[in-house]
Structure 1
Amino acid sequence: MSAPAPSTHIVADQEPVFRLLADPATHGLGEPVARIDTHGAAVFLAGGDVYKVKRAVRFPFMDLSTLDKRHAACMRELEVNRDNAPGLYLGLVPIRREGDGLRLGGADGGAKGDIIIEWAVHMRRFDERATFDRLSPEALTPALMDALARAVFAAHERAARHPEADSPGALAQVVRNIMAGLEEAPDLFAPPRVAALKAALALALDRLAPLLARRARAGEVRRCHGDLHLRNIALINGAPVLFDALEFDEGLATIDRLYDLAFLVMDLGQRGLVAPANQLLNRYLAACSDAPPYDGLAALPLFLALRAGIRAQVTAAALAHRTGTERQTACADAQAYLAYAEGALAAHSPRLIAIGGLSGTGKSTLAANLAPFVGPLPGAVHLRSDVERKRLAGVGELERLPGAAYTREATEAVYAALRERAAAVLAAGHGVVVDAVHQREDERAAVEQVARAAGVPFTGLWLDAPLEALTTRVEARQGDASDATAAVVAQQAARDCGPIGWARLSTAVGPDEVVARARQIIEI
């Protein structure tokens, strides 16, 4: 398949500016200056400094065609990134015409006759290999996904609410922009596929419009990051730092917070990182504590499809700055984003999976490994009794609770809360995995009733393991929400579980084999 022709969106020649910034002498350096090009900016990495110049472009979704617009966008970039990345953004630097040449910076006002012809955002350089798109899959651990989810949640908590926002109308414009971009590249994006995606997005948006409007009125539409993909997050001093927030259009950044999160979830999933994508969603919902936005899960397939469509459009738009193998890779990426958008909108029936067994049988491990494969994307919500108990007690997940928190009454409250949350997730059309001991027959019957009431399929899995193995596992736990001890396991083992009608799995085999057998039972 041939690639589209070079971009016609460039409205001015900025090459003299780019040559200036790419010249080591401009920065007093002896080593080369690295350059990164995107559809909307050229970024120059010079020693310990970074200079970012907005491109003179006009797209359906972004207009930086004049110096005044680029200057305003630069100023807004400094403002919108101040809270999330306070140590990275240093200021704004002019690029002046000085006689027959150009000069970076200089005193305010410059020499007589100097003309400012461009502006650059000045940043402190960090290790560019530490952006999340360049981290190895092995580095994207559950702990790091938890830290990332909490960073995003904190940013959303700081963000201004906009209950007056017309969320359905704004997303309808996003759809129009995406379609305009995709339709510009018929050699890259087959017109019948683009037409089918357009129709599917329109149907989803029409169906979800009342929900989107309600969420806006409830304060779920906020001034978010707006461009929250993996390349715009860096691991600095061991912590995720969100940077390069969308600055050129307030409307595109004033969005439902789950639409903001969806960019990251999509970016992980599209790269085949299904477990981190699922973990990110679950840890974000956990960070929300008493008020997770479960109703918004109904709109998540639409949000994911839109984010993938945007990346397809933007990747195609940047082909003008790609050559050779890099260009071929970008074409393949653009088509992969389109495929992800199609997959996100595919029909998936929700289901409830409950996992029971004594402490130490590996319920949480199995649940976490099953959740990414229970549709719709990016997999099921994982509800865990140990985490729910800590939430109800008002303590952190890793804080140990006293025995009083494990009374029969307290446990009944935990299970009731799990069922209530599972019902809310299912009502939004999303899958759920409930992970708890479920030792009593009435507890198992009650969670099955949640599925019946929702009219969704139910699968119960009961995990078995020798008592000695359970004792060894709980005593070896570190950094986990469970407070179970060897004594707790012994008490559980002494109780009668009654007849167990759930599918039974021995965890005496390896964890991979347990997951494989469970997936075979569930047929996922």
Structure 2
Amino acid sequence: MNKNSDLPAHVVEDQSAVFAFLADPATHGLENEIKRIDTHGAVVFLAGDDVYKLKRAVKFPFMDYSTLALRKTACEREIAVNKEAAPDIYLGIVAITRDGDELTLGGDSEPIEWAVHMRRFDETKTLDLVAEKEGLPQELLKSLVKEILAAHQRAPRRDTGPAIASLASYLEQNSEAYAENPGLYPQDRAAALTEASKMALAALTPLLQARGEAGFVRRCHGDLHLRNIVLIADKPTIFDAVEFDEAIATGDVLYDLAFLLMDLWERGLHREANIVMNRYLWGSDASEIDGLAALPLFLSIRATIRSKVIAAALPHLDGEEKTAKAAEARRYFAAAEAFLQPVRQRLVAIGGLSGSGKTTLAARIAPQFGRAPGAVHLRSDIERKRLAGVGETERLPDSAYASDFTARVFDTLWHKAERALKAGASVIVDAVHATPEERRQVEIVARENGADFVGLWLEAPIETLIDRVRHRSNDASDATAEIVRRQTGYKIGEIAWPHITVTGSVDDSVARALKTLGFSSDR
């Protein structure tokens, strides 16, 4: 319980003197005003080229900074867990000391507080702000996913049991947060969400245990959303990993990724969320697909945590800002409910000769159906490169396009489609689908896994197809004008799938496809 009734809820010590000291330009030998940023667990001071981040003296069920020793340890851990991913940002920790009545930054006296010392970056380049002002282009997302995959690969493996126990504890903590804020969370809906989440976790426990044994449980970032990613020299840099609790930072790699997916989705960046999910899957082992069964619960928990954290900061706010943040907390709570709602599965196959725009169309419609963040996009060009053991844009020899190798590619597509459907996801299979057997088999995969099936056949004049492949760059497809000409001689047979002429704009093609599929385009 708070010893000082004048302090906000969960705050156990008055740090106002230290805050005032760091907010004073004279402390840093500056004349310009120091910018202060407040969160529920920290206060950050931007001072010229330097940043000093103090841990608030707070005690939450999910965060304990109630003593100086705990705050120092948290500062040390913040450096340790962020240094490898963001070496240009994290410099070390520094003491705030008292000499008589004077406070000193980095003095030799007994420390009264500790701060993380960071090199300041352009705070307008965090990806939440970049997304608002400029959008997030595919090349940036591609680079970001590579950074995330690399971080997950080097992250140390952890035991499965504690990670599952942590998920259960989050549900209990969320329930407590709902009860503390009855004006923010309707109690009947809160109880229903808690119950649905517990039932989902119980059903998923065997899968999560198996994934842990296979190495998917690791010491990850723990707070991987857009505000914790910044562009430095145009490269996405991940920072501000969770340092205050190893349990919170430890979990399934898809649970770590889910925070970013949830953040993108709730900002209305559905296409971007779908790209991130699919690029993560393209860069992972096929067994990662099985984990998609847990993604709705992971997204829901991430949304409730975001809501809970916003609610925890409300006592530090007032006026319009407080009203806006309360509305944001309610929105994330509603999102948590929506993520757990069942969605009918669909398998959409997109076929057509090279240059017909299969991949472009698939990427545009993938966010429009299935569970958030949309359909799993399986692409023959990507699978061919993976089977050949080369990079996405590395050109393959003709032997990689022989009939036996192509058969392996389609076997892989069907196998992955089946795994995704079994995990509850919807799927797009993007390939030429030149033979009746290829088209028949993809329909069988849908039927045997209880999914609705629709096939689309894209077509355009050969001059259009050739022009498109000639203007491709930095793409997984190896198609050339000669390959397009060769494809026109294929014995494709009768195509029963709806035909879509794709000679107009991409938006026109997308609209026709969605109308044909009967999908809503409002997501």
Q: TM-score range by the shorter chain?
A: over 0.9
Deviation at 1:438, TM superposition (A): 0.3
Deviation at 1:161, TM superposition (A): 0.5
2:264 is matched with 268
1:341 is matched with 336
2:92 is matched with 91
Q: Deviations over 1:23-81 (max 9, x none)?
A: 10000011111111110000000000000000001111111111111111111111111
2:224 alignment partner, SS class: coil
Q: Residue 424 in 1 paired to residue 419 in 2?
A: yes
Is the 8 Å Cα contact of residues 163 and 247 (structure 2) preserved in structure 1?
Answer: no
Is the 8 Å Cα contact of residues 161 and 221 (structure 1) preserved in structure 2?
Answer: yes
Q: Higher mean Cα deviation, 451-460 or 255-264?
A: 451-460
Is the 8 Å Cα contact of residues 160 and 208 (structure 2) preserved in structure 1?
Answer: no
1:197 is matched with 193
1:50 is matched by which residue type in structure 2?
A: V
Q: Residue 514 in 1 paired to residue 509 in 2?
A: yes
1:143 alignment partner, SS class: helix
Q: Deviations over 1:83-135 (max 9, x none)?
A: 111121111101112211211112xxx2xxx4311100000110011111111
Q: Higher mean Cα deviation, 265-274 or 324-333?
A: 324-333
Q: How many residues get paired?
A: 513
1:441 is matched by which residue type in structure 2?
A: P
1:8 is matched by which residue type in structure 2?
A: A
User: What does residue range 292-371 of structure 1 map to in structure 2 within 5 Å?
Assistant: 292-371=287-366
User: Which whole-Å CA distance do the structure 2 matches of 1:182 and 1:64 have between them?
Assistant: 22
Is the 8 Å Cα contact of residues 182 and 312 (structure 1) preserved in structure 2?
Answer: no
Deviation at 1:167, TM superposition (A): 3.1
Deviation at 1:166, TM superposition (A): 3.2
Q: Deviations over 1:195-216 (max 9, x none)?
A: 1111111111111111111111
Is the 8 Å Cα contact of residues 165 and 221 (structure 1) preserved in structure 2?
Answer: no
1:474 is matched with 469
1:129 is matched with 124
Of residues 168, 173, 176 in structure 2, which corresponds to 1:172? 168
1:287 is matched with 283
1:185 is matched with 181
User: Which whole-Å CA distance do the structure 1 matches of 2:199 and 2:259 have between them?
Assistant: 21
2:200 is matched by which residue type in structure 1?
A: A
1:36 is matched with 37
1:76 is matched by which residue type in structure 2?
A: R
Deviation at 1:508, TM superposition (A): 1.5
1:503 is matched by which residue type in structure 2?
A: P
User: Which whole-Å CA distance do the structure 2 matches of 1:477 and 1:6 have between them?
Assistant: 61
1:395 is matched with 390
1:59 is matched with 60
Is the 8 Å Cα contact of residues 178 and 310 (structure 1) preserved in structure 2?
Answer: yes
1:45 alignment partner, SS class: strand
1:424 is matched by which residue type in structure 2?
A: R
Deviation at 1:292, TM superposition (A): 4.8
Is the 8 Å Cα contact of residues 160 and 209 (structure 2) preserved in structure 1?
Answer: no
2:173 is matched by which residue type in structure 1?
A: N
Q: Residue 451 in 1 paired to residue 452 in 2?
A: no
User: Which whole-Å CA distance do the structure 2 matches of 1:235 and 1:447 have between them?
Assistant: 41
Q: Higher mean Cα deviation, 264-273 or 404-413?
A: 404-413
1:344 is matched by which residue type in structure 2?
A: F
User: Which whole-Å CA distance do the structure 2 matches of 1:413 and 1:164 have between them?
Assistant: 34
User: Which whole-Å CA distance do the structure 1 matches of 2:481 and 2:251 have between them?
Assistant: 48
> 4+ residue runs of structure 1 moved beyond 6 angstroms?
none
1:160 is matched with 156
User: Which whole-Å CA distance do the structure 1 matches of 2:288 and 2:163 have between them?
Assistant: 16
2:157 alignment partner, SS class: coil
2:142 is matched by which residue type in structure 1?
A: D
Is the 8 Å Cα contact of residues 361 and 470 (structure 1) preserved in structure 2?
Answer: yes
1:277 alignment partner, SS class: helix
Q: Higher mean Cα deviation, 505-514 or 132-141?
A: 132-141
User: Which whole-Å CA distance do the structure 1 matches of 2:8 and 2:515 have between them?
Assistant: 49
2:494 alignment partner, SS class: coil
Is the 8 Å Cα contact of residues 229 and 263 (structure 1) preserved in structure 2?
Answer: yes
2:164 is matched by which residue type in structure 1?
A: P
User: Which whole-Å CA distance do the structure 2 matches of 1:291 and 1:498 have between them?
Assistant: 32
Is the 8 Å Cα contact of residues 157 and 215 (structure 2) preserved in structure 1?
Answer: yes
Deviation at 1:164, TM superposition (A): 4.6
1:459 alignment partner, SS class: strand
Q: Deviations over 1:199-248 (max 9, x none)?
A: 11111111111111111111111000111111111111111111111011
Deviation at 1:349, TM superposition (A): 2.2
User: Which whole-Å CA distance do the structure 2 matches of 1:51 and 1:424 have between them?
Assistant: 47
Is the 8 Å Cα contact of residues 167 and 213 (structure 1) preserved in structure 2?
Answer: no
User: Which whole-Å CA distance do the structure 2 matches of 1:166 and 1:101 have between them?
Assistant: 45
User: Which whole-Å CA distance do the structure 1 matches of 2:83 and 2:288 have between them?
Assistant: 26
> How has the CA–CA distance of structure 1 residues 6 and 390 changed in structure 2, closer, same or farther, with 3 Å as cutoff?
farther
User: Which whole-Å CA distance do the structure 1 matches of 2:327 and 2:516 have between them?
Assistant: 36
Q: Residue 232 in 1 paired to residue 228 in 2?
A: yes
Is the 8 Å Cα contact of residues 286 and 416 (structure 2) preserved in structure 1?
Answer: no
**Could you state the TM-score of these two structures normalised by the residue count of structure 2?**
0.96
Q: Residue 492 in 1 paired to residue 493 in 2?
A: no
1:336 alignment partner, SS class: helix
Identity rate of aligned residues, in percent? Answer: 54
Q: Deviations over 1:483-504 (max 9, x none)?
A: 1111111111122311101111
1:343 alignment partner, SS class: helix
User: What does residue range 84-123 of structure 1 map to in structure 2 within 5 Å?
Assistant: 84-106=85-107, 110=108, 114-123=109-118
Is the 8 Å Cα contact of residues 60 and 181 (structure 1) preserved in structure 2?
Answer: no
2:360 alignment partner, SS class: helix
User: Which whole-Å CA distance do the structure 2 matches of 1:223 and 1:382 have between them?
Assistant: 28
